[in-house]
Structure 1
Amino acid sequence: MSDPAPLILCVEDDKDSREMIQYLLRNAEKNYTVMAVGTGAEALAINAKNSFDLYVLDIWLPGMDGFELCRRIRERGSTKPIMFFSAMVRPDDRKYGLAAGANEFLVKPNDLDIFTDTVERLLKDGSKDIGLSEPPV
C-alpha cells in the first residue's frame, strides 16, 4: 500500500497564478494533493483544520502579507517546510522571508523551471531547517 500524497497549502491571491501552481503540483511526478486559498486569513483558518506537509506562499496577499502569515504558521508550532513563490519581489524580500521562518524563496516566473524540484526536495528534507531563528541585522 502506498503512502498518501503529500498535502500542500497554496496561498496566492492571483487566480491565474493560484491555478498555475495547483496545475504544476497536481501534475508533478508525485501527484501532490493541493488545497488553495487567496488570503492569509483563509490560510490560517484552513491550517487550523488540516495538517499540511508543505506551504507555498505569495508575499503580496490582501489583509496580511506572506511574511506575517509565515510567522503566524511558525508561531502556531508548525515545523513543516514553507516556501515563498512570488513575483514583484524587492531586493530584501528573500532575507525577510527566511527571517519569518521560510525554508526557501523562489521568484515567479524566473524559478518556474525549478519549482517542482524544490517542492520535492523540501518534502524529502522535512523540517530539518525552518529558516533563520533571528531576524537579519
Structure 2
Amino acid sequence: MRLLVIEDEAPMRTALVETLKAEGYRVLAAEDGISGLELACTEPFDLALLDVMMPGLDGFALCRELRKRGKTMPVLMLTAKGQVDDRVEGLDSGADDYLVKPFSLRELLARVRALLRRKEREHALGNELSIGDAVIDFGRNMLHRNHKDQPISSKEAGMLRLLASHPGETVSREKFLDVVWGYNAYPSTRTVDNFIAALRTKLEKDPSKPVHLITVRGVGYRLEP
C-alpha cells in the first residue's frame, strides 16, 4: 500500500513516515500543500494523510482540489483544531476521517487500517449497484431510475455502499457516522435519518412505504435490493 503524508512540521512528518514505514507501508511525504498536491496528482496512492494548518494551501483547500481533480483515495485529516465546525468543514471538503492532535500512534494506525479496509470493500462491490428498478453508478455518483439520472452526494453513495457491503444485516446509525462521515461530527444520529429519507425519495416507489431501505427500529437500517 502506498501512502502520502503532507505535513509542514518536520518532527511530525518524520514521526508519521517512520511509524507508517514500520508497519510495512510504502510512504512518500511532502512538506506543504502545493508540493503535496503535485505529488498526489502525478503518482498513485492508496491513502493520503493531510495536515490542516499549512501555509500556502491548507488541508481543506488541498482536499477540495484533490476531489475536484478526480482523486478518490481516502483522506485522513490531521489537525490541532477540534471544534465541531472544523470537523464538519474537513469532512465536507471531501475528507474521509479526521484525527485531532495530539493523538496516539496506535489510534492513527487503526484509522489508516479502517480506511484501507473500507476502500477494499468498495472496490469489491464494483462501480454499479442495482436496487429495485434503480441502478447506482458509483463512478459518477449518479442514480438512474425511470429513464432519468439523478445525482447523489458522496455521503449518500457511501451509505449505499455500506449497506450493500452488509447484505441482509442491520447497519446502526452509529456505524453510518463512523464509516461514512469518518468521525461523529454531528451531535445527533438524526443526520443519518435525514439522509435515508432523502435516498428513499430517489429509490422507493412510495417513500412512505419503503421496500428497499428498511428501518430497524431502535437500531438502524437494512438494505433489501
Q: TM-score, normalised by structure 1?
A: 0.84
Aligned to 2:21: 26
Gaps of 5+ in 2: 123-152, 157-185, 187-225
- Is 1:106 aligned with 2:112? no
- Determine if the alignment matches structure 1 residue 72 to structure 2 residue 65: yes
Instruction: Show the 5 A alignment for 1:115-130.
Output: 115-126=108-119, 128=122
Shift in Å, 1:15: 0.1
Report the Cα offset of residue 40 of structure 1: 0.9
- Aligned partner letter, 1:72: E
CA RMSD of aligned residues (A): 2.2
Query: Structure 2 CA distance, aligned partners of 1:110 and 1:9?
Result: 19
Please give the alpha-carbon distance, in whole angstroms, between the structure 2 residues aligned to 1:68 and 1:16.
23
Structure 2 counterpart of 1:3: none
By percentage of residues, which structure has more helix? 2
| 2:8 alignment counterpart | 13
What amino acid maps onto 2:5 in structure 1?
Answer: C
Contact 1:99–1:131 at 8 Å: present in 2 too? no
User: 1 CA distance for matches of 2:54 and 2:71?
Assistant: 20
Cα deviation, 1:63-84, whole Å, max 9, x if unaligned, reads 0110000000000101110010
| C-alpha separation in 1, matches of 2:61 and 2:104 | 23
* Identity rate, percent: 35
Query: What secondary structure is seen at the aligned counterpart in 2 of 1:9?
Result: strand
CA contact (8 A) 1:84 1:97 kept: yes
- Does 2:57 correspond to 1:95? no
- Provide the aligned length of Structure 1 versus Structure 2: 126
Q: Which runs of 5+ in 1 are unaligned?
A: 1-5
Matched residue type, 2:87:
R
8 A Cα contact 2:82 2:100, kept in partner: no
Query: Which one has the largest radius of gyration?
Result: 2
Specify which structure has the bigger relative contact order, considering alpha-carbon pairs within 8 angstroms and separated by 6 or more residues: 1
The structure with more strand, counted as a fraction of residues: 2
Q: CA deviation at 1:111?
A: 4.5
Structure 2 length as normaliser, TM-score? 0.52
